[in-house]
Structure 1
């Protein structure tokens, strides 16, 4: 009987160690964001994910329900256009809800085609359940993003069309 209790205790201990805290997931997220292929970043998301981008420019959905595997494909597609080099100015805020974390950070990178350097500032509100990101609300300046990627004229055109 004693051997069985030890085995059960060992399994519970391993499961507890295997599930990272929300803070640890955010730290892994920040590190994985620098992965050129995006695979490590996609691994941090749950099987079902809601991503909201309240300030998304025209043509990009403000809310999407997707899967971790669909995100992997999106991250890999975006990797060819830009290269993230470092992340700094990180501030992680714990909230009253242990599943919700707010993270502020700046991403430094370059546009692959032109070599143009950029800095994008983000605030993300993440819900992390069972060690996986299941909901993310991402705030960034779409004008800065469009300027960095050389797409400001397209953004202005899209914004002009929407007001008509």
Structure 2
């Protein structure tokens, strides 16, 4: 088990493209908070309190739609707080239905205790995310309904 926040972040990056997407959940504490400030409410809540097994199920369900193939540009920034790192990375994958490739760029503020992620704040492009999830029409409909897109 990793002992530092940096080691946990590096383990997370490796697990992101592992053979079993559910293994990514092993990087998280039994209870964790995930914040996604830029996530469109129609697709994902801005804050989720969840448990490791729910994350495992969510990650595996996502594998039915898309496959993450590689991580590039990964940088782990250590902070003055030994429990907090900032992780920047590009995640490359492919939609399974049509084989379309995608790239998602992330900046994640990760809080780690005892080698496990207890909190993240994930910043990503919501349009690219909806496209990678195959949910772009849903996002556009939600934005139009909210008067944010026409």
Q: TM-score, normalised by structure 2?
A: 0.92
Unaligned runs of 5+ in 2: none
What is the number of equivalent residue pairs in this alignment?
Answer: 147
Query: Which structure carries more helix by proportion?
Result: 1
Unaligned runs of 5+ in 1: 1-17
Q: Is the 8 A contact 1:83 1:109 kept in 2?
A: yes
Matching residue of 2:3: 20
Matches of 1:57 and 1:35 in 2, distance apart? 27
Matching residue of 1:65: 49
Matches of 1:77 and 1:148 in 2, distance apart? 14
Match of 2:28 among 45, 62, 75: 45
Larger Rg: 1
Matching residue of 1:145: 129
* Distance change (3 Å), C-alpha of 1:148 and 1:19: closer
* Distance change (3 Å), C-alpha of 1:77 and 1:28: same
Shift of the alpha carbon at 1:19? 4.8
| Structure with bigger RCO (C-alpha 8 Å, 6+ apart) | 2
Shift of the alpha carbon at 1:156? 1.1
Matches of 1:132 and 1:34 in 2, distance apart? 18
Which 4+ residue blocks in structure 1 deviate beyond 6 angstroms? Answer: none
Match of 1:93 among 53, 77, 80: 77
Q: TM-score, normalised by structure 1?
A: 0.85
Matching residue of 2:113: 129
Q: CA RMSD in A?
A: 1.4
Q: Residue 111 in 1 paired to residue 111 in 2?
A: no
